[in-house]
Amino acid sequence: MLPSETTTTAFDMDACLAGEQEAIDDWQAYADGHYHHAQTMTFSVFIVYQLFNVMNCRSNEESVFELGLFSNRAINYALLISTGLLLFFVQLSQVSIPVIGIEIGSLLSTNTLTQNDWAVVVLIASSVFIIEEFRKFIVKSGFFAIRQP
């Protein structure tokens, strides 16, 4: 079950344990859905993590806020295109491509994510940004600098 679920009516556990094929098939469909959801969340976290990392890599010493969050036009375009592609493959995963009839989500095995899912993705992925900004702050403050006598 997902952390937000408290009970499930997707399958009958007792019937699964008894070996009933219909209940086992229901369990398999339920498990496959959760697997694809976890796979989509992982994929999204890795992409957003790298987007935050790109913002950090602009300078080894200066904060992103000192440089200007949107001061580099090439990085802004790259972030915009990457975010757009991520949203295209995840949020439009149920949409069918007109000419060939394949769902967009089947190309990368993605599912549509909810707003809560996106909040979790951004919260986890932003950890690299927060930690690196904290590191830059500590280095700039000179707290761990070697002092000469």
Is residue 120 domain-resident?
yes
Q: What distances in angstroms separate CA 114 from CA 8, 37, 40, one per listed residue?
A: 19, 11, 11
Is residue 53 domain-resident?
yes
Is residue 18 domain-resident?
no
Report the run of H or E that residue 130 belongs to, with start and end: helix 127-141
Is residue 26 domain-resident?
no
Strand partners, 103: 96
- Phi first, then psi, for residue 138 (nearest 5°) are -65, -45
Q: What is the pTM of this model?
A: 0.77
End-to-end alpha carbon distance in the chain: 61
Task: Categorize the per-residue pLDDT at 10 as very low, low, confident or very high, splitting at 50, 70 and 90.
Answer: low
Is residue 112 domain-resident?
yes
Separation CA 27–CA 148 (nearest Å): 67
Instruction: State the Rg of the chain over Cα.
Output: 22
Is residue 12 domain-resident?
no
Residue-level length of the chain: 149
Is residue 16 domain-resident?
no
Give the chain's domain count: 1
Q: What is the mean pLDDT of residues 130-146?
A: 85
Separation CA 3–CA 74 (nearest Å): 39
- For the stretch 50-96, pLDDT in tens is 999 999 888 888 888 888 888 889 999 999 999 999 999 999 988 88
> Domain of 52?
39-139
